[in-house]
Structure formats: structure tokens, C-alpha cells
Amino acid sequence: MEGLTIYQRPELENPPLVLGFGGWMDGGRVSTGTIDYLREKLEATRCAEIDSLDFHIFNFPVSTIPVAVFSDQARTVVSSINPMEFSAIFRPHTRIENGIIEDLSYQKNEFFCAQSPDLVLFSGEEPHIRWRTYCDCIFGLAEDLGVKQFYFVGSVSSPIPHTREPRIRASMPSEDLRERLSGFDIEFTDYEGPASIVTLLTERSAHRGIEMISLVVEVPHYPFLDMPTYPKSVLKAVSTLAGLLHLNIDLSDLRESADQAENKLNEIMAGNREFRELVRKLEEVYDYEESSADEEILRRLIEGIDLGSSEDKN
């Protein structure tokens, strides 16, 4: 199949496929972090790959210099961006030493197979172009390995406090799949807006004889803090998948990482009154399930937090 390379075909019995994508729905590295964690725990080995050259844009055209608009002490600032720096985001990475090209690497879109239990994992970057063919590559490998169930796991930034359990919501192409989630602490998605490759996969899955469920975990929306990874939401995703797929996995190391991250956030909160007040309001919204209008107010409060000084002001 065009764009798909299969390296090995292990003997698997009706394995489910768990998908993770970097980019838009990977806040806190919940999506790719879940795949990485399961791959290591289950000792999964690479079995196939989708060629990035066929599905990613590497030369983003910049006809005019883009700008960044931001707020600085209540003033709106418009700043130019170097077009080379902007377009570099999309390009492959190379390493040249003493004039010799030592490495040229692209976005990775890889499948991994685990046995005991039988499971297929996918970690990739959401494609820029040719979504239909990209989906066909995933469906093609699923047919080759006898996969009949897909699970996507991702994340969404949300006005929830780090002191509470992240919620997880599901979407699927048909009503009958909802019953599979009965007994799990999973809500159902209400959303209208831009779609991802996951939506296309989910919509097309029913026509390909695949049962697909998309699971999206909340991560705290703290733009004033550097939180590239949020282990508490990764733990929520992995533990939910472990229950759905009957995976016997020791999650003690992931729980320890989640506890350490929460302790660090608590330390920051203890030294900053604005942060403490924000968390208190977020807890009220979480505990009493106030309206979405209240959540929008809290989003604006979040964006106004200043942690330039961690000194507590009583």
C-alpha cells in the first residue's frame, strides 16, 4: 500500500490498536506519552511505518512576514517574526559535521506490536495533507494484522485544577459502542469546532468494519507555567485503557510521577496568592459543575495570572 511499509507480521489474535498523535491533541504529552509508556511496559517492537514524505508539508510558504500579537503591561504589542524561523518549524531536522551530512530525520509515524497481551500501538504526527490516504494506511495495517478495534487517546486543555482528578470523555461513530464504556468513569463528548484526523478515522471506521472509540483526557490550562508533560492525565489515560483492554500493568511508577508533579505545583501555589485563588475558583467549578460561561471567565483569569514573583503577598 502506498505510503505504508510493513517490517514484520507477528502472529496476533484479534489485537486492538491504540493510537496516539503528536500536535493538537497532545497537551501534557497525554497522547504520545501514553503510547510511549505502553510500548516500554509491554516491550513492543516496531512492525510498520507510514512514510512522512507523503503526508507532511516541509516547506511552508511565507509570502509576508508573520506577526505575533501579545500583551505587555496592558499594552498590545505587534512584533514581527523571522520568516525563516517560522518556516523552520515544518522542516526535517539534519545534523552536519565537518561538511558531512550525518543525519536527516523526519516526523515519525510508527506502529509497534506487543505480545502477551496482543496489542498494536501507533504513535505519529497528525498529517498535513492527504488525510484519506493516511487513514487508508492505518486501516490497511489493521486488516493485515486482524485488528477490529481502535482506541485513540488524546487530551484537551481545560479549566480544571491540578488538585482534582482529570475527567475523560469519549466519542464514537455509533450508539451501540457506548455500552462498552458502561461501568467506567467516562463521560461523553459534546463539541463543535475544528476536526482532527481522529474524527475522520472514527467516522470512516464503521465503513471499514472497525469499532473505534476516541478517549480525550483533560489537562489543566496553566499557560503561565511550563508543563510539557502532565503525568496525572497520562495516568488517567493509561489506567482507563488498562481497564478497557484488560491489561495487567503495574502503574506504580506512573503514579509516583503524577504525585511528584502535583507536589511541585502545590509548592508553587503555596508561594503565590493569585495562583491559590485561581485554584480555589477552579475547584468550585469542578466540584459544583458550574456553567460553561463560568468556565470562560476562569479562562480569562488564568491568562491574567502573573508568576513573575513567587513571593507570597498576604
Using one digit for the tens of pLDDT, what is the confidence trace for 247-279? 999 999 999 999 999 999 999 989 888 888 888
**Three-class secondary structure assignment of 243-258:** HHHCCCCCCHHHHHHH
Distance CA 8, CA 62 (A): 41
| Cβ partners under 8 Å of residue 85, min gap 6 | none
Any alpha helices (H) in the chain, and if so which ranges? 30-41, 83-88, 131-145, 197-205, 231-245, 252-270, 273-288, 292-303
Residue-level pLDDT at 167: 93
Distance CA 19, CA 151 (A): 6
Distance CA 106, CA 51 (A): 9
Q: Give the closest residue to 214 by CA, choosing from 233, 234, 196, 229.
A: 196
Taking only the tens place, the pLDDT of each residue in 64-84 is 555 655 555 555 556 666 666
Residue-level pLDDT at 231: 94
Query: Alpha-carbon Rg of the chain, whole angstroms?
Result: 21
Strand partners of residue 70: 77
Instruction: Grade residue 293 by pLDDT with cuts at 50, 70 and 90.
Output: very low
| Cβ partners under 8 Å of residue 11, min gap 6 | none
Instruction: Assign 50 to helix, strand or coil.
Output: strand
Strands 75-80 and 67-72, by their bridges, are antiparallel
Distance CA 247, CA 140 (A): 25
Distance CA 120, CA 150 (A): 9
Average pLDDT of span 89-109: 85
pTM for this structure?
0.84
Tell me the angle at which helices 197-205 and 131-145 cross, rounded to the nearest 10 degrees.
50
**pLDDT over 90 (residue 193):** no
User: What's the sign of the alpha-carbon dihedral 211, 128, 237, 217?
Assistant: negative
Q: Are 285 and 298 in contact (CB under 8 A)?
A: yes
Q: Give the closest residue to 212 by CA, choosing from 156, 171, 244, 160.
A: 171
Consecutive H or E run containing 172 = none
Walk me through the domains of the chain, giving residue ranges and CATH numbers. Answer: 4-56+108-250 (3.40.50.10900), 67-104 (no CATH)
